[in-house]
């Protein structure tokens, strides 16, 4: 058991508009509006508080604040060519042993470098809506021993909704590992700290012969706040 739950000191409310960020100049907000019209912006008070606003090249700022360079016309919206591996709506099968389920298209924040930005352009198009065909595919492929839940960010879902997915995947006999890919410990660790049902759910489904893992990404040491470290510890 963890002795304390940190009180929520930052609003859970997400910030979806650049013009809500007072630290940017009017000129910056004007320039970035064009970017956010194409590639959505999303953050929250907690994560924005990690930015050193005196530094225009602050690394945290570059992770989360749009950049006009995003409008330059080069690159691909599907750089990993994930579309080649789609075998059912929201399900990719690229490596023999691993299946990837895109459970949602929402995150604790939108990383400007995200290689799945296309998900946020056409909402709902590539993610799972009815998980039954995905489960049927995995069940009929015994080589799949490892299922990665991603998106979007699975921890954006309520624990109840996430458990409904985990429980069904867990019930497939040959699935030995369920992974949850999330950046929530960096973007909003209070999602984990303040929800004991999440760790209880992981404890319930992670067994010696059938493990659950949470994989996460931190891009800069300043993201490793006390709250972030506590959330990782809890997981």
Choice between 131 and 186, CB closer to ligand SF4? 186
Cα–Cα dist 169/161, whole Å:
13
30 close to 193: Cβ distance less than 8 angstroms: no
Could you tell me the smallest distance in angstroms from the CB atom of residue 184 to ligand SF4?
A: 8
| Beta strand segments in 6-132, E | 14-15, 43-44, 86-88, 91-92, 98-102
Choice between 114 and 234, CB closer to ligand SF4? 114
Choice between 66 and 151, CB closer to ligand SF4? 151
Cα–Cα dist 76/202, whole Å:
36
Could you tell me the smallest distance in angstroms from the CB atom of residue 174 to ligand SF4?
A: 27
189 close to 235: Cβ distance less than 8 angstroms: no
**CA nearest neighbour of 224 among 65, 66, 47, 54:** 47
Choice between 165 and 172, CB closer to ligand SF4? 165
Could you tell me the smallest distance in angstroms from the CB atom of residue 129 to ligand SF4?
A: 18
Could you tell me the smallest distance in angstroms from the CB atom of residue 214 to ligand SF4?
A: 13
Could you tell me the smallest distance in angstroms from the CB atom of residue 156 to ligand SF4?
A: 9
103 close to 149: Cβ distance less than 8 angstroms: yes
216 close to 55: Cβ distance less than 8 angstroms: no
Could you tell me the smallest distance in angstroms from the CB atom of residue 47 to ligand SF4?
A: 11
Choice between 159 and 216, CB closer to ligand SF4? 216
Summarize as ranges the residues that interact with ligand SF4 (CB under 6 A).
107, 110-111, 114, 116, 151-153, 183
Could you tell me the smallest distance in angstroms from the CB atom of residue 114 to ligand SF4?
A: 3
44 close to 14: Cβ distance less than 8 angstroms: yes
- Number of Cβ within 10 Å of residue 226's Cβ equals 9
Choice between 95 and 218, CB closer to ligand SF4? 218
Choice between 90 and 151, CB closer to ligand SF4? 151
CB-based burial of residue 206 (10 Å sphere; 0-12 exposed, 13-18 middle, 19+ buried)? middle
- Number of Cβ within 10 Å of residue 77's Cβ equals 12
């Amino acid at each position: 058991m963890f002795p304390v739950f940190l009180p929520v000191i930052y609003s859970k409310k997400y910030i979806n508009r650049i013009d809500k960020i007072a630290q940017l100049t009017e000129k910056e907000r004007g320039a970035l509006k064009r970017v956010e019209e194409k590639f959505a912006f999303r953050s929250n008070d907690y994560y924005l508080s990690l930015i050193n606003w005196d530094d225009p090249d602050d690394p945290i700022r570059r992770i989360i604040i749009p950049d006009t360079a995003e409008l330059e016309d080069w690159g691909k919206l599907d750089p990993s060519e994930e579309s080649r591996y789609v075998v059912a709506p929201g399900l990719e099968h690229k490596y023999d042993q691993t299946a990837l389920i895109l459970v949602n298209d929402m995150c604790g924040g939108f990383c400007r470098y995200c290689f799945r930005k296309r998900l946020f352009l056409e909402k709902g198009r590539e993610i799972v809506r009815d998980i039954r065909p995905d489960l049927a595919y995995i069940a009929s492929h015994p080589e799949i021993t490892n299922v990665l839940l991603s998106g979007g960010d699975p921890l954006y879902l309520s624990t109840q909704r996430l458990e409904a997915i985990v429980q069904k995947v867990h019930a497939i006999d040959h699935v030995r590992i369920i992974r949850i890919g999330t950046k929530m410990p960096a973007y909003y660790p209070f999602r984990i700290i303040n929800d004991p049902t999440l760790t209880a759910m992981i404890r319930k489904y992670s067994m010696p012969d059938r493990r659950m893992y949470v994989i996460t990404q931190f891009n800069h040491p300043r993201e490793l706040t006390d709250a972030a470290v506590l959330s990782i510890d809890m997981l």
